[in-house]
Amino acid sequence: MTSWDVTVRGAGAFGLACAWELTRRGQRVCVIDPGGPGAGASGGIVGALAPHVPENWNPKKAFQFAALSGADAFWQEVRSVSGIDPGYARTGRLQPLADARAVALAQTRQEQAQALWQGRFDWRVVEAARFGEWAPPSATGLVVFDTLSARISPKAACLALAAAIVARGGKVVQTPADAAGSQADATPVIWATGAAGLDDLSAHFGRTVGQGIKGQAALLQMDRASAPQLFVDGLHIIPHGDGTVAVGSTTEREFADAAATDALLDGVLDQARAAVPVLKTAPVIQRWAGLRPRARSRAPMLGAWPGRPGHYIANGGFKIGFGVVTEVARVMADLVMQGIDRIPEGFRVEENL
């Protein structure tokens, strides 16, 4: 009979990344999720790993920078151990500049990025024309090009993490019974159960700590694997390495069916094709909808479960989940294994209660 050191409930980005980091540190980890790896929002199709603007530095931005800058090594190791390509690549991002004020602000941020991003990545104002037909429309003819942004294929990344965990002796199962009769749910337990988990936590604490926000996205057939991602009027356009381009997403708090796509996604596609006319000839090969977990604070919700010794919470990834998983995994492993609390201000469980 195998005895697990840590149980992780939830096989999305947060749960699997925490399990992988614990496995790397020598822990025997069992991950349990009735839907399997990437069954929820982490099985989506967009995969934008992009930073906030380099100004007004705070713990949240510092945490995000550490996660994004450490992503290369993290995902390279996952790929090597699992034998599965997570679709990760640091290809940068373009954002159009609408007027002289936007240009001046972007130039100020260009200077700040040199210091805040430690000279390792750029935030530059450049001519849109250098990107040809892939450039988003810009009234000034200028765009911001940052070299910190990256992309990932969400479902493939979840499968790669799961395979890496198993390759190092862990287990990823769909029911506790599948854990070989082996102390499944023995503490410590990390609860990384996404939107459904936020509902459960709200019921447990008697107040709303977060909710699922519906998002809709689409995948188009077009090979722009080496092109940067675009961020235009709140819309993400992400070229992936498999000859597809992801477009998304909506942000819906009210909906009839969390898993259904509708006319709102058609609007997103129209917006994307207007921004990048070359996309007009790209056929839609997949439409996706799902609930993304948004904690009340809007930041990830990390830490010990108040009043429940041996239990921990890692939830609330919302739109930045994959972009911060490397640091989420690190701070949660520190907390669970060593009792060392490195969770930054704004990310704590109690800030949502």
Q: Cα torsion at 198, 202, 208, 212 (round to 10°)?
A: 20
- Would the pLDDT of 2 be above 80? no
> Is the Cα dihedral 250, 256, 258, 262 positive or negative?
negative
Q: pLDDT tens digits for 202-213?
A: 999 999 999 999
What pLDDT, on the 0 to 100 scale, is given for residue 179?
67
Residues, the chain: 353
What pLDDT, on the 0 to 100 scale, is given for residue 176?
75
What pLDDT, on the 0 to 100 scale, is given for residue 186?
67
Kindly list the strands in the beta sheet with 244-248, ordered across the sheet, starting from the edge strand earlier in the chain.
123-127, 142-146, 93-96, 229-232, 235-239, 244-248, 210-221, 284-295
For tokens 């077009």, name the residue. 222
Question: 184 pLDDT band (50/70/90 cuts)?
Answer: low
Q: Which of 5, 2, 7, 11 is nearest to 193 (CA)?
A: 11
Question: 3 pLDDT band (50/70/90 cuts)?
Answer: confident
What percentage of the chain carries pLDDT values higher than 70? 97
- Would the pLDDT of 102 be above 60? yes
Q: pLDDT tens digits for 315-344?
A: 999 999 999 999 999 999 999 999 999 999
**Could you say which DSSP state residue 343 is in?**
P
What pLDDT, on the 0 to 100 scale, is given for residue 80?
98
What pLDDT, on the 0 to 100 scale, is given for residue 187?
76
Question: 272 pLDDT band (50/70/90 cuts)?
Answer: very high
Region 300-313 average pLDDT: 96
Query: Is residue 282 classed exposed, middle or buried when 0-12, 13-18 and 19+ CB atoms within 10 A define those classes?
Result: buried
**Secondary structure (3-state) at 329:** helix
Separation between Cα atoms, residue 179 and residue 9, nearest integer Å: 12
- Would the pLDDT of 300 be above 60? yes
DSSP H helices, 117-262, are 154-167, 194-205
Distances (CA, A) of 16 to 129, 171, 174, 214: 41, 11, 13, 22
Q: pLDDT tens digits for 278-287?
A: 999 999 999 9
Q: pTM of the entire structure?
A: 0.95
Separation between Cα atoms, residue 240 and residue 154, nearest integer Å: 11
Q: pLDDT tens digits for 39-74?
A: 999 999 999 999 999 999 999 999 999 999 999 999
Region 147-167 average pLDDT: 98
Q: Which of 284, 320, 290 is nearest to 302 (CA)?
A: 320
What pLDDT, on the 0 to 100 scale, is given for residue 180?
58
- Would the pLDDT of 227 be above 90? yes
Domains and CATH numbers, the chain: 6-83+153-207+297-352 (3.50.50.60), 93-147 (no CATH), 210-295 (3.30.9.10)
What pLDDT, on the 0 to 100 scale, is given for residue 41?
93
Q: Which of 12, 16, 3, 2 is nearest to 333 (CA)?
A: 16
Region 269-277 average pLDDT: 94
Question: 257 pLDDT band (50/70/90 cuts)?
Answer: very high
